[in-house]
Structure 1
Amino acid sequence: MSPSIPPRGIYAPVVAFFNEDESLDLSALEAHITRLAKSGVAGLVVQGSNGEAPHLLHSERQEVIATASAILKKHGKSDAVVIAGCGVQSTRETLLLCNEAKESRAHFALILSPSYWTGAMQKPAIEKFFNDVATSSPIPILLYNFPAVTSGIDLDSDLIATLAASNPNIVGCKLTCGNLGKLHRVAHDARIPRPFAAFAGKSDFFLHGLVAGSNGVIAAAANMFPKVHVKLMADFDEGNLKAAQDLQTKLSDADWVLVQLGVAGLKAALDRYYSYGGGRSRRPLGMVDGAKFEGRADSILKELVDLENSL
């Protein structure tokens, strides 16, 4: 029997919180996951791009996954899905991370393309990498396509369909590339003989992805506004397109603000509007302080925070 796919819904790619000495701030992580657990999200992505995966030790990755799982269970959300980012530069270490993720109670692994030796990463090499990982991983994997962090490597729809069709342990993908035509093709590709979870990878094309047939969204802004995302999907599913469009407009504006602030800026926004976390990343990433939230940026985010708090 083929592995199950992640349930349709909203997934928050959980940010990593750090103390002033750059050690993990697990108290802020608990406050954050507690809020997410109560918001109606289908699950969490741990150690995605916003989780600063490249900055964490293996032991810290395991600690964060185990902590997230324990907090979900504590709040009666044992059925919530945990997807762990496990993609690194070698097949060997990627598989090590997949095994460690399973030990820490993750359900799925999210795998980026290797990209250090960019010139060598032609389609045959990438296809073999994902097949090798999927074949040996103890948990099902999702392909993670994010050209901005993989030296421009961009998985096309034919490669995704070929991988999904040939390896039953490849059960989905996250498309942060923003190519809606690709998302639509993958979501409806007849070459894939079983359910396949194609996720939009950003809030600013969440509704567009639903129209294309996505399995939901894995989006940084879901850290800030999980209930708003859940409401947009509900409006879409109920056929209330105008309400969904109105929410999408707000989310698109907010997503653009957060993109410009970067990973540390998202954490600074959580601190400013929800009073936990601080705008701190591990070096060489910097810090973002409250001065960045002025004028139009503050107005856009505050409007959605107020809406989030009202739901």
Structure 2
Amino acid sequence: MPVATTRPLVPGVWAPIPTFFDANEEIDVPTFVAHTVRLAQAKMNPVICGSMGEAHHLTNEERTTLIKAARKGLDEAGLNDATIIAGTGVGSTKGSIQLSKEAAEAGADFAIVIPSGYYAGALGREALKQYFVDVAEASPIPVMVYNFPGAAGGIDMDSDLIIDIAKGSSNICGVKLTCGAVGKLTRITAATTSDEFKRDYPRRNPQAPFLTLGGFADFMLPTVLGGKAHGAIMGLGNVYPHALAQLYYGSADLLNETPRASLAEMTRLQGLASEADWAFVAAGIAGTKYYLQQTRGYGGVCRLPILPFPEDKGAKLLKDDRVNQFMEVEKKLEAQAKGSKVNGSTNGH
């Protein structure tokens, strides 16, 4: 029987953390931890060993090393409530179960599992459902379904299948949709938040309800405002953690009777986020690392065979108006956060 996580799964925003490497392609744990903590301080929780984290190129030992280091770093920074979602999907059901157990022991609160695309042609609806149900039933932590056709050999699960998977195991705690299908997101949310679903298919862990999360930043406002998304896991969160947290929590605030945020401001932020997201989707993992290297002083390259980001493309990315306009918002909010922290410390004395 899966054990209860000590941290609740609540709507919010997460960033899939890159795995940083040194010149010998060994994992750079200190840089990884520092980046993870910096994002969590901006209310951007970490997803470790996901697609952005080059999990396919990591050993199980490296994955658990990163999870342990992240938990230790977050706790030491006073971020004990920051939840860790860890990628545990590998080729086989047996392997995914084993990795989920290792991730739980290392300090992960939740697992996110992608189906293997190696035998995509042999994985029909029945096989996919059984895969997720078997992994979830054996996992000591709740499991999130990861639908990303681009990283799963083209496997694109529809809303009916994902809802069926959710009904198949009470230890399934949500889905991340990196397919960009808003209609799918809407249908899944409607089904899994209904009174009938909650009555007939209660979650095993009451602290881990079923959440529907987007995989991009470009449609957060309309889906959150419509009550159809519980947040997102976004690669863009590595670059703009403060701005995207502002977009999510400000959008959610608009649903209150007396919102502090304005629709006009959230609409402006959404427009800027959508433009920046499009630029970084094209840049990919290597481009994101290049940008971090140039603007933050760390990032480095990917583990081969992913090649370094070309310098000519990097120069264009740094000059891209879409990137820089949203960065103006990020820098302003980051400065405000630092100022509040300093003032708070001063007032404490």
**Residue matched to 1:66:** 68
* Equivalent residue runs for 1:1-311 within 5 Å: 6-41=9-44, 43-189=45-191, 190=194, 192-193=197-198, 194=202, 195-210=209-224, 211-239=226-254, 240-278=262-300, 280-295=301-316, 297-311=319-333
The letter of the residue matching 1:229 is: L
The letter of the residue matching 1:275 is: G
**What are the Cα deviations for residues 35-71 of structure 1, in whole angstroms up to 9, with x where unaligned?**
1121122x21001100000000111001111111111
Tell me by how many angstroms 1:164 deviates. Answer: 1.1
Aligned counterparts of 1:290 and 1:11: Cα–Cα separation in 2: 29
CA 1:154–1:212 in structure 2 vs 1: closer, same or farther (change >3 Å)?
Answer: farther
The letter of the residue matching 1:38 is: Q
Aligned counterparts of 2:227 and 2:139: Cα–Cα separation in 1: 30
The letter of the residue matching 1:213 is: K
In our comparison, the structure showing a higher alpha carbon Rg is 2
Tell me by how many angstroms 1:299 deviates. Answer: 2.7
Q: Secondary structure at the match of 1:50?
A: coil
User: How much identity, in percent, do the aligned residues show?
Assistant: 37
Contact 2:12 2:249 in 1 (8 A): no
Contact 1:268 1:289 in 2 (8 A): no
Aligned counterparts of 2:66 and 2:125: Cα–Cα separation in 1: 33
TM-score normalised over the length of structure 2: 0.84
Contact 2:290 2:314 in 1 (8 A): no
Tell me by how many angstroms 1:26 deviates. Answer: 1.6
Aligned counterparts of 2:316 and 2:23: Cα–Cα separation in 1: 28
**What are the Cα deviations for residues 241-296 of structure 1, in whole angstroms up to 9, with x where unaligned?**
22112111111111111111111111111111222222x00111011155323457
More deviation, 174-183/202-211 = 202-211
Q: Secondary structure at the match of 1:192?
A: helix
The letter of the residue matching 2:110 is: F
Tell me by how many angstroms 1:212 deviates. Answer: 4.8
Gaps of 5+ in 2: 203-208, 255-261, 334-349
**Residue matched to 2:346:** none
Q: Secondary structure at the match of 2:219?
A: helix
The letter of the residue matching 2:218 is: D
Contact 1:31 1:276 in 2 (8 A): no
The letter of the residue matching 1:44 is: P
Contact 1:180 1:208 in 2 (8 A): no
Contact 1:37 1:75 in 2 (8 A): no
Aligned counterparts of 1:161 and 1:295: Cα–Cα separation in 2: 42
**Residue matched to 2:336:** none
Query: When the two structures are aligned, how many residues end up with a matched partner?
Result: 309
Aligned counterparts of 1:58 and 1:294: Cα–Cα separation in 2: 35
Gaps of 5+ in 1: none
